[in-house]
Structure 1
């Protein structure tokens, strides 16, 4: 009871944090429970003593009362039986049974995810990269979250929310299309090799970079474990160094700023290695946006949530500026790429409750920013030819100077050349669709 009052129900994240806690973290966990919450167990003790001394046979119609109580508490289990075809003691409505069931089931899921992570990371990759000269010593890849490009000042939006991107020399891809409209599907198709309709998670950008001589780092404000987290974490766990701010899933309602990763990122950038790849995975603008900004915003548009969304993009731009400052301070030749995993579309667009949410029906669910700047950028360049996240590995290898027989490099993705097969996106049901056939999300900004 004291733990429940402090931390809530034993959900997946609670179980992960307990499972992975060190002795010090366990002590901090217990110390965070207010001492007076311990008093909450006294009523339970008193009720237990009373119940043990209670003579039920003295009650008139006692059997009827007992039957009513049993039916009341077993009703959820009976309902589950008729709905799902099984009856479990854990489906009974009593909190102790329900909490126990949640703890057990979430513990099993944690173990399954941990096992999957270890098994997949152990699979040997198939890369055979050829030595090539690289233009820079330090490559930084920043993966944004839930950003549609038409909400960035750098892409023509009316609010001043991309001061760094708008003022920095570099390359803007004005027609970059994400592989999919959800994080896991988009990043699996962007960051891993796809052959015969399968994702080869062992053949990913981390294992490719390591075989090409890069020291690799992964910093994440997304979750480490969970149904939507573990597949991407499999990629991250191959890195020489990886830090996750969240041990469970991404925790929609939690507020951990992306800026909390900066100290670790600085350490990675400053490590003395001949060649480095630093990957940073943001929580960025993930709904709900006001959670990301601590309910603060400086520009109002339509609703509080939309205004927070605009502010969350400003936070990401500020983070990019800070990271670029660290790269400059390192004294190394560097290049930084930023792109988002997917976009969003409107819900209740014509009301004061307007918000942006995950969807797969509109172009804006896939139109995302991509921007590259570097230590030697001296001009602005716009690539307006379509570039698809399904061919991100081709773009990545051309950016880093890596060459491997498994990755197509017949088209210059870093130029304004027209490249083939750049119009495909993946929907929620994993079916492929032509991006150009999708309607516009017509809601006004």
Structure 2
């Protein structure tokens, strides 16, 4: 009986590890997307069972058995990563963590080794169970027949089928995705490609022709929100009280009433905001991302920080990597405030980017369990939670020489009950405001409302101003070019409503 139980437990542990790395699948199991969760669990379960049969067949030949051992070892490492994230960081895995692993060294790994004792023990237990299961199937179940041969190939065929479906049939995420029994493979593959881009951009260190015209503000802080519609913020006239604290601070802010993003997704809009690259150049001159606000801050003597609760993504991570201090933290957005407190302790000029999850789909997953939504739906409640985070940040900086620039990377279009990333004027309308600490010099403290249409690429020259630099007479925000999802630059006025 025990011989049959171990294979079943092996399958269950594999699926549990999978859910630990993708907790939203488990959360959705009890929500409106339960069918998607069931489908995902079924698909990965089928691929894993096929993987077991494939390796059982390999074990039937002494020359191919070592290949099976290697494949099982790699799968056990995949599970080890899931277990480590759960027991150490209490979160799923992401590309940012993959980059951290690739960039770590022996000394850093040894200093953290005590944290991996429990995951390490579980790794050896799972490895033993996995090999036992494969050998059990080899001896008692699997034979060289067409049926088992077909089953053994499923785990190799399905990833290719998922890729074709994702590319040619439907694509919710807007990018490439290949489901695989090694479910962390895509994270590491993306991380390696990001590193290639980072290395290319790092090689091109620009020298800025800049002029210092006055002392800058000590702490220049940029908060990049996520998927926040200004239409759902009481700061901009929304009927529901979704930004109560920010509303109270409006008299101490410059509010841009008609701000628009330069693109409809994060991977396009944030690099356009943080660097001088023009939408016309984005497809062909990716190396120009090196002309970014982090490199500028470093050159003029500002200590640079990048603190994020978001997973990494190509151009964003390339820019973030140039910060002298960078950290990806796990948890809800409120965990970013203690990191900010640490960053501002030293008496030096600092440029700090806080990249938060905000209202990133699914907004229900952006809220702590004890968060009181007060009757608001998940999206509005996520905006109110961001306002709560802003309250903590403002209180932290209230009696300092600090300026906070806040803007969302892009908005969303509402169609029926769906929040969509599409090319439309509705989904470009974003919050954009500047808040001042009490010790900011009067020459910088300009409050009120800006009524003209303002593209958030204006943030770049605005940061230059707060750093005491001479700002360019003309900048790309004046053209208001928009980079669509096909990565084509168009006039903003040509966007559909």
Q: Normalising by structure 1, what TM-score?
A: 0.74
Structure 2 unaligned regions, length at least 5:
1-9, 22-77, 83-92, 165-178
Q: Is the 8 A contact 2:267 2:316 kept in 1?
A: yes
Pair 1:7 & 2:17 matched: yes
Contact 2:264 2:411 (C-alpha < 8 Å) held by counterparts: yes
User: What corresponds to 1:284 in structure 2?
Assistant: 358
Contact 1:221 1:283 in 2 (8 A): yes
- Answering whether residue 235 of structure 2 is matched by residue 154 of structure 1, we say yes
**Which one of the candidate residues 460, 469, 480 is aligned to 1:402?**
469
Say whether 1:346 aligns with 2:414. yes
Please identify, of 152-161 and 391-400, the stretch whose mean Cα deviation from structure 2 is larger: 391-400
Residue 50 of structure 1 and its aligned partner are, at CA, apart by 7.2
2:434 aligned partner? 372
Partner residue, 2:295: 207
Residue 111 of structure 1, CA deviation = 3.3
For residues 34 and 300 of structure 1, do their structure 2 counterparts lie closer, same or farther at Cα, with a shift above 3 Å needed? farther
Q: Deviations over 1:41-80 (max 9, x none)?
A: 5596277257448997xxxxxxxx7133223433675788
- Contact 2:155 2:181 survives alignment (8 Å): no
Measure the CA separation in 1 of the matches of 2:420 and 2:244. 25
Q: CA deviation at 1:355?
A: 3.6
**Aligned pairs (5 A) from 1:9-408:** 10=78, 13=94, 16=98, 19=102, 20=104, 22-23=109-110, 25=112, 27-29=114-116, 31-32=118-119, 38=125, 45=132, 48-49=135-136, 51-52=138-139, 66-74=145-153, 99=181, 107-134=188-215, 136-168=217-249, 169-194=252-277, 197=281, 198-199=285-286, 200-224=288-312, 229-245=313-329, 256-273=331-348, 275-294=349-368, 296-300=371-375, 307-329=377-399, 332-347=400-415, 349=416, 354-360=417-423, 362-376=424-438, 381-403=448-470, 408=472
Query: RMSD between aligned alpha carbons?
Result: 3.7
Unaligned runs of 5+ in 1: 57-64, 86-96, 247-255, 302-306, 414-418, 441-445
Q: Which residue of 1 aligns with 2:47?
A: none
> How far off is 1:268 after superposition?
0.9
Please give the alpha-carbon distance, in whole angstroms, between the structure 2 residues aligned to 1:334 and 1:42.
56
Residue aligned with 1:271, SS: coil
Instruction: Tell me, yes or no, if the aligned pair for 1:129 and 1:208 is still in contact at 8 Å.
Output: no
CA deviations over 1:237-287 (Å, ceiling 9, x no partner) = 2122111126xxxxxxxxx211112221101112111x2211111111101
Mapped to 1, the partners of 2:209 and 2:492 lie a distance apart of 33
C-alpha offsets along residues 395-442 of structure 1, whole Å, 9 cap, x if unaligned?
3323433226xxx3248x9xxxxx8423x32211112333334444xx
Report what 2:72 is aligned to.
none
CA shift digits 1:111-143 (9 cap, x unpaired): 343343234224211312111213522211111
1:420-435 equivalences under 5 Å are: 420-422=478-480, 424-435=481-492
3-state SS of paired residue (2:329) = strand
Distance, in Å, in 2 between the alignment partners of 1:432 and 1:370 is 22
Looking at both structures, which has the greater relative contact order when contacts are Cα pairs under 8 Å and sequence separation is at least 6?
A: 1
Q: Using the alignment, how far apart are the partners of 1:30 and 1:3 within structure 2? A: 18
Q: 2:142·2:148 contact (CA, 8 Å) conserved in 1?
A: no
More displaced 10-residue stretch of structure 1: 283-292 or 157-166: 157-166
Show the counterpart of 2:58: none
In terms of fraction of residues, the more helix-rich structure is 2
Deviations 1:193-246 (A, max 9, x none): 12562341211001112222212111111123xxxx131111112122111126
